[in-house]
Structure 1
Amino acid sequence: MRDMVKVPAREPVSPGHVEDAIRELSFDKRTAFLKETQKYPCLRRLPELSKLADSIVASWNLEPFALSSRQWHRIPCERQIGLAFFDPKSKALSSELTVVECRNLSIEGISFFHDVPILSREVAITFDLEQEEREFLVVRLAWSRFSEAHVFQSGGRFLYQIDAEASLSETG
């Protein structure tokens, strides 16, 4: 979520005023984080996103603020995640899990590296590689490209969260 503190020009700012503004923004940002992740409770366990919710992030973009559609900053995320192919009609996951490398993460979406092209518009990802019971986030892919490093990069928005038990297909 983009937060701005406006300070009138040529007015001295006391250190106490700045600290109060930071505390107020942090509280508002944590509240917004909890509200935004109601649909995706598994995101609340990720330390990368918790840090994002508890910090003030500065951004210098060339794009005008009014043209940006992002409400939350993306953060680098260098961790392995699981990817399962997802059938949107039957709401079933394939039983095979492919390990891919997370690239960027936000409360609204994700981007990741993978070795083979993805032919489906919707996939399911999990951060719970070490767990027996997994929660998956269904992602609608918005873009994909082949990089100079000879790997694919794809990204998209989170749609909803599902439990593996309720949706695993043994036909995968």
Structure 2
Amino acid sequence: MTSCAPSASEFAFTTVPTCSDASEAKVRATVGQLISRILPKKISNERRRDFRYPYPHLIYLTPVDAAGQALNDLSTVVVGKNITERGIDFFHRDPLPYRRVILTLESEDGARASVVTDLLWTRFTRHGWYDNGGRFLHILAQNGPS
């Protein structure tokens, strides 16, 4: 039986670029496309700046060190909670000691995007998990159906 999980080499990253206005526009467009594939109908009555969609999917997380180097050997899987065009929150079993990470998001039809994310907050839940949230900065890789 073949594995559906991507190999480590598919998510090997090098230096992570810094943020710009152009990269924010690309992030919003790419993540917006992934959201529309997952949840094509928008639900109204959201009072936040951006509408949050449920994102109960597994996400590949690759930490990024202070020099901007991806720490591929420390990649792990986290559990998605909510997503917007600008950011995401997810659950992780252990505290994350990194400020920047690369999150690889997938839709059910195979579209995938790897997004540099600035982690802005974390909360310990009463169930023993950490709820983490961050803002998308850059798209690194994108593939699958378009």
1 or 2, which has the higher helix percentage?
Answer: 1
SS at match of 1:113: strand
| Residue number in structure 1 paired with 2:70 | 93
Q: RMSD across aligned C-alpha pairs, in angstroms?
A: 3.2
CA displacement at 1:87 relative to structure 2? 2.4
CA displacement at 1:86 relative to structure 2? 1.1
SS at match of 1:100: strand
Q: Are the equivalent residues in 1 in contact too, given 2:118–2:135 (CA < 8 A)?
A: yes
Q: Are the equivalent residues in 1 in contact too, given 2:122–2:133 (CA < 8 A)?
A: yes
**Please, which runs of 5 or more residues in structure 1 have no aligned partner?**
1-35, 62-69, 165-172
Please give the residue correspondences for 1:46-61 in structure 2 after superposition, counting only pairs within 5 Å.
Answer: 46=35, 47-48=37-38, 50-52=40-42, 57-59=44-46
| Residue number in structure 1 paired with 2:34 | 45
Q: 1:146 to 1:88 in 2, by over 3 A?
A: same
Residue type of the alignment partner of 1:147: T
For normalisation by structure 1, the TM-score amounts to 0.57
CA displacement at 1:71 relative to structure 2? 2.4
Number of residue pairs the alignment of both structures matches: 117
Q: Using the alignment, how far apart are the partners of 1:95 and 1:139 within structure 2?
A: 15
Q: Using the alignment, how far apart are the partners of 1:129 and 1:86 within structure 2?
A: 24
CA offsets 1:16-55 (integer angstroms, 9 cap, x no match): xxxxxxxxxxxxxxxxxxxx97412542133236433xx6
Q: Are the equivalent residues in 2 in contact too, given 1:82–1:129 (CA < 8 A)?
A: no
For normalisation by structure 2, the TM-score amounts to 0.66
Which structure 1 residue ranges, 4+ long, deviate > 6 Å from structure 2?
A: none
The percent identity for this pair of structures is 30
SS at match of 2:101: strand
CA offsets 1:40-79 (integer angstroms, 9 cap, x no match): 2542133236433xx6x124x5xxxxxxxx4211121111
SS at match of 1:92: coil
Bigger relative contact order, structure 1 or 2, given CA contacts below 8 A and separation 6+?
A: 2
Residue type of the alignment partner of 1:71: R
Structure with greater Cα Rg = 1
| Residue number in structure 1 paired with 2:5 | none
Q: Using the alignment, how far apart are the partners of 1:159 and 1:152 within structure 2?
A: 22
Please give the residue correspondences for 1:1-172 in structure 2 after superposition, counting only pairs within 5 Å.
Answer: 38-40=25-27, 41-43=29-31, 44-46=33-35, 47-48=37-38, 50-52=40-42, 57-59=44-46, 70-89=48-67, 91-96=68-73, 97-128=75-106, 135-163=113-141
